[in-house]
Amino acid sequence: MPSASSAGSDAGRPAAPGLWRDPDFRRLWTGQTVSQLGEQASLVVLPLLAVLTLHATAGRTGVLRAVGQAPILLLSLFAGAWVDRWRTRTTMVLTDAGRAVALGAAAVACLFGHLGMPGLFVLAFAVGALSVFFDVAYQASAVRLVRREDLVRCNSALEGSRSAAQIGGPALGGALVSLLPAPAAMTVGAVLFALSFLSIRRIRRRETLPERSARPPRVWRRIHEGLRFVAGDPVLRAVCLASAAFQLSVAATMTAHLLFLPRELHLSGTVVGLVLAAVGPGALAGALLAARLPGRFGHGPVLVTAAVLGDGVFLCVPALHGPSAATVAVLVAVSFVFGAGGQLVNVTVMAVRQAATPDGMQGRAAATITFVGMGLTPLGSLLGGFLAQQWGPRTSLLITAGGMLLSPAVMALSPLARLGRTLPACREPAPRRVTA
């Protein structure tokens, strides 16, 4: 049974049958799709520019990826506290504008020959920091802009667009680096963020914000409330631990993977982009399966099985040799299975989190899980670069891919594995203690 605050928060939102006919939802979906495309392309463009244009070492490539992921650890909790008090539209518009300006300025610097590795480090951190705020904001925006009965369809659309970005983003990034000068490659990313800005700023509906007290708690108190809420819920706590194990290992794996593909298998930037883009169709398949499998087999069994298959498939990659068509076909299949398993887990976990979290805690709950789950990605990227530097991309890829099985192991030993066909009930946060 929904809480009173949940029921009241539906006031002024579009009626259930009209989700796709609502122009504000379409603007949100369009802007989020284009923004995700720019973000996914940038994740490939920056390291490939470092490797192929600036001839960066494995260690520097790992540092570059870590710098771009560091804002997740440093800023996620602040982003959650911010989003829970301010309009998500404003946050998304400002971050889109900031990323467009950052990439545009870097393109100008590169055009005049002034962009080296230090400049790439600054650019990666700036884009990563703004992306943290955008990602938390768009996750919270769904709860404020649509009715709760439309959340499943809304999340399916947003996750589907993210999957589409995973198809086009890496392929676009690889093609840009291979076919265009570096300044033009970064300019395309800036244009994508500018288009997202133009779409989201046209949203007209005023969001229903959580009630504010006369003397709102300081940001640290609000961050503490989010941490305490997630830590006090056994299901959300298990999501954090499983996500942390996954993000640490996948960051290390992807660093080794981006080095392994061009240097050990001698694949071009375009082929690398196409291989990575195969994650997208797999993610679309995973999103479709997520609408059916948990209700039939139970959320817990689906989570564990999908994580085992999606993560374990990377153990096939270190056995490959040479740039043959068979090698590329196997890599595409691996990316597809990884994307399907990962998206099935992502959509199911998002449904679990939203069902267990009240409206006024959505931003902080999402940010807390992002902080705990993805805060280890910079360390993972450094670890992947260090292992590749010491033992080579093939051996490091074998080690890091084996580490990806830690996540399903955590799930299997946690309350997540026992979730049935129904989602957990929403738990209201414990009241703050009042001292005399």
Q: Is the pLDDT of residue 196 over 90?
A: yes
248-262 residues labelled b (16+ CB within 10 A) or e (exposed): bbbbbbbbbbbbbbb
Nearest residue to 25 (alpha-carbon basis) of 132, 134, 156, 135:
156
What region does 266 belong to: left with phi over 0, alpha with psi -120 to 50, or beta? left
pLDDT tens for residues 385-423? 888 888 888 888 899 989 889 999 988 888 888 887 776
pLDDT of amino acid 166: 61
Q: What's the token pair of residue 30? A: 């369009």
DSSP 313: G
pLDDT of amino acid 4: 35
Confidence of residue 152 (pLDDT cuts 50, 70, 90): low
CB–CB of 106/123 below 8 Å?
yes
**Mean pLDDT score, 333-358:** 83
pLDDT of amino acid 427: 63
> What CATH code is assigned to 20-206+220-418?
1.20.1250.20
Query: Is pLDDT larger for residue 357 or for residue 189?
Result: 189
Q: Is the pLDDT of residue 193 over 50?
A: yes
Summary mean pLDDT of the chain: 78
CA 365 to chain centre: 15
**For residue 220, with 0-12 CB atoms within 10 Å meaning exposed, 13-18 middle and 19 or more buried, which class applies?**
exposed
Confidence of residue 239 (pLDDT cuts 50, 70, 90): confident
Block residue for tokens 């990659």: 317
Block residue for tokens 């440093």: 74
**Mean pLDDT score, 260-265:** 85
DSSP 268: -
Q: What's the token pair of residue 268? A: 């071009």
Rounded CA separation 25/154 (Å): 9
**Mean pLDDT score, 375-393:** 82
Domain segments of the chain as ranges: 20-206+220-418
pLDDT of amino acid 93: 92
Query: Is pLDDT larger for residue 428 or for residue 377?
Result: 377
Confidence of residue 260 (pLDDT cuts 50, 70, 90): confident
CB–CB of 107/190 below 8 Å?
yes
